[in-house]
């Protein structure tokens, strides 16, 4: 096994150790069926003809058919090099290019061209920047909202999936001020294995980001990836931790190993367990839950947002009665 990563850098000791475990064979329930409806077909032609770039296509997301049919798409900002390394993530770690201050405008134009109902914006951690990239995230939301303000079907809604910005108040305030419809920050795993899986993040700090977003009046969302060494009981504890921190929407998914350099799959969670976890999350009090082997954090994002709005409306009515 070569100790050189595909991008030419020397592999980390952790990556060398991971690569000693062969890629796991996926179980029969980890498969998708292409359902190419008219909206998806039209979107595919448009994206190709306009030379647009979405995470949906470039990451080979299994849910692209459903999301594009709903006119929803995900964009990655900040470049293709992350300043942190999570053991499950396919994005490369390295020194990023200089900040592209025109990127928010171009993403806004892509959203307009695709006539999206709902756009999810995610990105890399930019610890090389003084504000951690907070302006970039916030400005992208502002550009999408401004450029779609006159849209016949209504302004495009934005879900902003952020890193933790080290929970720095000024950076979070900048991001929150852009008023995305949903503020997402993914915890991804449970406390016991968190440091090993996400060494650049801290579990409690991630919970604090969600709490601050909720206190700022934003709809909050997070994600849990199963199959990286957690126990069933730890998943239940994490669901309660997130809800207690102010998280309203949750997605729960199966870990799929991007390459041999990444963390091995510890277990394949069976479909019935995802159903049980959805029921459990509903009982805890989440406004919206998506739970399944091929669910991703942006899967059916617009529908989850609508569920959160309906829950908030119901609670508001009850409070005024």
DSSP characters over 60-99: T-TTHHHHHHTTEEEEEES-SEESS--TT--SEESPPPPP
By the 10 Å C-beta count (0-12 exposed, 13-18 middle, 19+ buried), 249 is classed as buried
Quote the pTM value. 0.91
Residue-level pLDDT at 54? 79
How are strands ordered across the β-sheet holding 72-77?
72-77, 118-123, 157-161, 182-184, 219-226, 249-254, 288-291
Instruction: List the pLDDT tens digit at each of the 321 positions of the chain.
Output: 456 566 666 778 888 888 888 888 889 998 777 778 888 888 888 888 877 777 787 777 888 888 888 899 999 899 888 999 888 888 888 899 999 999 999 999 999 999 999 999 999 999 999 999 999 999 999 999 999 999 999 999 999 999 999 999 999 999 999 999 999 999 999 999 999 999 999 999 999 999 999 999 999 999 999 999 999 999 999 999 999 999 999 999 999 988 888 888 999 999 999 999 999 999 999 999 999 999 999 999 999 999 999 998 877 555 554
Tokens of 199: 């060494």
Residue-level pLDDT at 233? 98
What are the chain's domains? Answer: 53-316 (3.20.20.70)
| CA distance linking residue 227 with residue 268, whole number of Å | 6
Q: Which residues pair with 188 in a beta bridge?
A: 224
Residue 31: helix, strand or coil by DSSP?
A: coil
Residue-level pLDDT at 321? 41
């Amino acid at each position: 096994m070569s100790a050189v990563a595909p991008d030419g850098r020397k592999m980390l000791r952790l990556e060398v150790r991971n690569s000693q475990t062969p890629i796991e064979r996926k179980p029969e329930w980890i498969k998708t069926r292409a359902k190419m409806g008219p909206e998806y077909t039209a979107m595919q032609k448009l994206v190709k003809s306009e030379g647009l770039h979405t995470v949906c296509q470039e990451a080979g997301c299994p849910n692209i058919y459903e999301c594009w049919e709903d006119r929803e798409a995900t964009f990655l900002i900040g470049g293709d090099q992350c300043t942190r390394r999570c053991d499950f993530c396919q994005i490369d770690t390295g020194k990023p290019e200089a900040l592209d201050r025109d990127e928010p405008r171009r993403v806004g134009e892509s959203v307009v061209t695709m006539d999206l109902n709902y756009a999810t914006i995610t990105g890399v951690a930019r610890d090389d920047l003084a504000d951690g990239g907070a302006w970039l995230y916030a400005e992208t939301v502002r550009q999408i909202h401004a450029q779609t303000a006159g849209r016949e079907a209504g302004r495009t809604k934005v879900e902003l999936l952020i890193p933790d910005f080290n929970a720095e108040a000024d950076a979070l305030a900048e991001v929150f001020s852009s008023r995305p419809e949903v503020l997402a920050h993914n915890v991804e795993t449970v406390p016991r294995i968190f440091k090993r899986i996400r060494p650049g993040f801290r579990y409690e700090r991630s919970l604090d980001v969600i709490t601050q977003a909720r206190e700022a009046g934003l709809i909050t969302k997070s994600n849990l990836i199963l199959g990286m060494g957690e126990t069933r009981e730890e998943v239940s504890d994490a669901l309660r931790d997130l809800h207690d921190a102010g998280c309203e929407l949750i997605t729960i998914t199966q870990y799929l190993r991007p390459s041999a350099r990444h963390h091995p799959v510890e277990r394949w969670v069976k479909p019935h367990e995802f159903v049980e976890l959805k029921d459990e999350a509903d009982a805890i009090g989440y406004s919206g839950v998506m739970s399944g082997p091929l669910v991703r954090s942006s899967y059916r994002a617009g529908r989850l947002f609508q569920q959160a709005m309906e829950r908030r409306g119901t609670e508001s009515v009850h409070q005024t009665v």
